[in-house]
Amino acid sequence: MKKIALILSIVLFLACAKNSVLTIPLPSFQAEFKEKSQHTDQVTYNLLQMQKKNEYSSYFEDSILKIRLDEELKLLAQKIEEASVKLLLAKGYDLSKTKQYKLKESIVVLIKEEFDREKTDFLKGKQVSSNLSLELEFQASFSKANDKNKVQTQAGVKTKLEPIAINYPIKSDEGIGNFKESISSIPTQVNANLKEAVLNIDEVLRTFYYEVLSSLNENIKAEDSQAEVIRMQTQEGIIIFE
């Protein structure tokens, strides 16, 4: 009898341990710029436009992954806007309403999910398994507002997260399945079994941020053609422009 009780205790402990909630901070998107002197030309900066194309299930819609990803994308857009402005200033442009120059940016996000199968886990009960992928595409155009020739400088990147496996518990299960999952609505608190998926998504977003700034830096030339080229490097996750 004691052995049975011990085995049940171990099973319940493993069930709870596998579904414990971890605290994982949102990814950091940081860029630092060296200050420049006087800025001679004028730039009108249009806020970045983000478009989402959703091809996912109600399972994902109600998940902590969706809640977290929404917050991450808001933060990513905000940080790209901030870094774009600072990069223009570093290249000798100034921001005002005189509209001599225009910078337009857009991000298209595709979240796609393909279902695999329904399966049964001894500890977690019935689950639905799916593969989730993520694609991000950035486009930017930089031009003189009154240029009759409408010459534009273009920049763009595309980053993709290869499909990752996601398991959703079927909440109607009873018994030991009651221990299968803790539902959180806080973006930084995720179930332990989602840790790998969260870290993979975070890494793709950080890579995308770096590639966006790299593309802008390479394609938008300094206002002064004789100015030194601004170089990029990373130090402890921070992008440094110098």
Residue type, 26: L
Total number of domains in the chain? 1
Q: What is the pLDDT averaged over residues 163-169? A: 84
Q: Which residue has the higher pLDDT, 74 or 227?
A: 74
Asked if 48 contacts 212 with a C-beta cutoff of 8 angstroms, the reply is no
The distance of Cα 186 from the centroid of its chain, to the nearest Å, equals 16
**How confident is the model at residue 242, as a pLDDT?**
81
**For the segment 48-97, what is each residue's pLDDT rounded down to a tens digit?**
999 999 999 888 888 888 999 999 999 999 999 999 988 988 888 877 76
Task: Write out the residue range of the structural domain in which residue 68 sits.
Answer: 2-241
- 82 CB neighbour count, 10 Å cutoff: 13
* pLDDT of amino acid 107: 96
- At 13 the pLDDT is 42
Mean pLDDT score, 118-137: 77
Residue 203 pLDDT class (50, 70, 90 cuts): very high
Task: Give the CATH number, domain containing residue 216.
Answer: 3.30.160
pTM (2 d.p.): 0.82
